[in-house]
Structure 1
Amino acid sequence: MFTGIVTDLGTILSIEDIPAGKRTRIRTSYDTDGFDIGASIACEGVCHTVTAKQNAPEGNWFDIESAAETLALTTVSEWKVGQQLNLERSLTMGAELGGHLVLGHVDGMARVVKREDHPDSVYLQFEATAETAPFIAKKGSVALNGTSLTVNEVDGLLFSVFLIPHTLEVTTWSDRQVGDNINLEVDMMARYAARLAEFTKTG
C-alpha cells in the first residue's frame, strides 16, 4: 500500500533480461539498511519487490524483477539505463496519508496528448483507455507514474491535471512530453463502487 507521494528520484543503473522478464538495478538515496529483501517499493507507480540491495560508497542501490505481465501492461518495458524513476516506499501504520491510498497495481497506460507550460503550473491532458476511463472522475484522485494527482476535467477518454512547481521539482514529471505513455492506477474506491453497482444492477 502506498500514498502516491514520491519520496525519492531513483536512476536506472542497469537492465538485464532474465527468464521471468527483466531485472533492473536502481540507484537510490534511501538507506537500504532500512528495508529488507522482499520489501515493496513503487517504481513509477508499479509495485515491485526488492530482490537485492546494498549501501555503497558510489551510491546505494536495489534490484527489482519485472514479470511478463508487468512488462505488457506498464511502461516498465520502455525503461532505459540512466532514466529517472519516481520511487515510494510502502506505507507504514501511523504514517501521514498525504495523497490517497494507492496499491501499486497499475490498471493500464494513459498517453499524454497535450502539455501547456504556465508560469506557476503545467497543464497535462491524457487519453485513457476505454476500460479505465469510466473510473476517472472530475476532482477525483488518480495515480499517474506513482504520483497522487487530482483530476481537473474529464471529457470522454480525455482527462487533465495541473502540476505545481513542487511536484515538477521532486518527480519525473518535468520530463514528460506529448506522446509519452504513463502508468495509470484508478482510485480503488471508484473501482469497488463500480463493482458494487454492477452487482446491484444485476441483482
Structure 2
Amino acid sequence: MFTGLIEEIGMVVGMEVTREAGILTVAAGFPADLIAIGDSIAVNGACLTVVRKGAGTFSFDVSPETIARTSFNNLKKGTPVNLERALAVSGRLDGHLVSGHVDCLAVIRERRAVSGNTFLSFRMPGEYLKYVAAKGSIAIEGISLTVNTVDEEGFTVNIIPHTLQKTTLEGKKVGDVVNIETDILAKYVERLLSRRDTGNSPGISLELLAKSGFM
C-alpha cells in the first residue's frame, strides 16, 4: 500500500518492451541499501517490484496488464516519473490509502492558473467515474489529491504550488494522458451493495460498515 505522497521524481533510463511485457529502468536517489530486491515502488501510481539494482538505478518487470492499463507505453528515456516507496506499518498516512493498481487513463482537458494555484480538469471513462466524488480522494500519476468537482465526463482538482513543483504535474499539458486510481473504499462499498442486491448479503448497515473497516 502507498499514501500518494510522492517521495521524489525519478528519470526513465530505459523501457524495453518485448511482445506485450517490458522491463523498466529508472534512475532514482533512493539509497541502494534501503531498497531490496522484491521491494515495491509506485512508479507514476503503478505498483512495481524491484528486480534489479544498479548504480543509482532500479529495474522492474512490467506485466502486459500494466502496459495495457497505464500510460507506460508513452515512457521513454528521459521521461520524469513520480516515485513512492511502499508504506511502512509504522508510517504516517498523510495522503490516502493507495493500492498502486491503476484503474484507467484520464486526459487533461483544461489547465489554468487560479490565485497562484493550478486548476486541472480531466476526462475519464464513465465506468470508473462512478467511483469519483466531490471532496473525495483520487490518485493521479500516484499523487493523492482531493477532487473539487465532478461532472458527466470527468472531474477537476486544484494543485497547490508545492505539489506542482514536487511532482511530474508541473510538466503536464492539455491532451496529456495520466494514470488514475480511484478510491479503493468506493469499490468495496459497491461490492457490498452488489452482494446485497443478489441476495448473498444481509444488506448494508452501520454495523456492517464498521466491521468492514469503513467507519
TM-score where L is the length of structure 1: 0.95
For structure 1, the residue ranges without an aligned partner over 5 or more in a row are none
What are the within-5 Å matches in structure 2 for residues 48-63 of structure 1?
A: 48-54=48-54, 56=55, 60-63=56-59
Shift in Å, 1:157:
2.3
Superposition map of 1:1-203 within 5 A: 1-18=1-18, 21-54=21-54, 56=55, 60-203=56-199
Higher relative contact order (CA 8 A, sep 6+): 1
| Larger gyration radius, structure 1 or structure 2 | 2
Distance in 2, Cα, partners of 1:177 & 1:187: 24
Matched residues in 1 for 2:17 and 2:103: separation?
24
Corresponding letter in the other structure for 2:35? F
Is the 8 Å Cα contact of residues 6 and 147 (structure 1) preserved in structure 2?
yes
Measure the CA separation in 2 of the matches of 1:174 and 1:116.
12
TM-score by length of 2: 0.89
Q: Name segments (4+ residues, structure 1) moved above 4 Å.
A: none
Percent identical pairs in the alignment equals 39
Task: Name structure 2 gaps, 5 residues minimum.
Answer: 200-215
Q: CA deviation at 1:33?
A: 1.2
**Amino acid across the alignment from 1:8:** E
TM-fit CA distance, 1:120:
1.5
Q: Secondary structure at the match of 1:192?
A: helix
Counterpart-to-counterpart distance in 2, 1:189 and 1:160? 20
Which amino acid is the alignment partner of residue 17 of structure 2?
A: D
2:213 is matched with which residue? none
* Length, aligned pairs only: 199
